[in-house]
Amino acid sequence: MAQQTTNKINEFADTSIRAFEELRELSSDIANISTVARENARFIQTLADINNQLTLLRTDVATLRTDVATVRTDVATVRTDVATVRTDMNSHFDVSEHKALIRMSNASCVRNNSRINWIIIPNRNLPQHRISNLGQFSRMSNVIALSYLEYYNLAQRNTVRENRKQLAQFLGIPVII
């Protein structure tokens, strides 16, 4: 029995020696595994860093998209404002041109039967007093003259003669009435 125990101990020792020798032979491979494991851990950290950077990039892109949408809205607003200004200017020029043409036409009113052209203000009703020529204009009452002065937003004077003169100057009529 002692021999059997000795044999088992010797077998165990031989097995241990072979295991240690194989361990010695594999030591460089085991060291490489450790190095690869550390490199894999760094690689995983690098992937995590890239993922964080992608998340930041997504946030930046979303912010940029919002900014672009805001700029587009602002540009649309500016375009609308420019169109409104253009329309207002054209309307103003049309009114100014209308006034100039009427005044040029009225500049030739020198006889009592000369036709008077009235300047029309957009979106307002011209007083309906049937004053169509210079003779009727020169006989216009103060009440009628005041209604035209109010229509044209002109200052009222002290007398009917001064009110007619004010109105004639506005309309481009050369004759002082």
pLDDT tens digits, 64-73: 899 889 989 9
How far does the chain reach from its first CA to its final CA, in angstroms?
156
Quickly list DSSP for 127-163: P-----BHHHHHT--HHHHHHHHHHTT----SSHHHH
Domain that holds residue 160: 107-171
Provide the CB-side half-sphere exposure for 105 (13 A, CA): 13
Calculate what percentage of the chain has a pLDDT beyond 90.
37
Answer whether residue 120 is part of any domain.
Answer: yes
- Residue 151 within any structural domain of the chain: yes
Residue 122 within any structural domain of the chain: yes
Does 131 fall in a domain? Answer: yes
Q: How many domains does the chain have?
A: 1
pLDDT value of position 148: 96
69 belongs to a structural domain: no
Is 83 within a domain? Answer: no
Whether residue 48 lies inside any domain: the answer is no
- For the stretch 121-130, pLDDT in tens is 888 899 988 8
Asked whether residue 30 is domain-assigned, the answer is no
Q: What is the pTM of this model?
A: 0.53
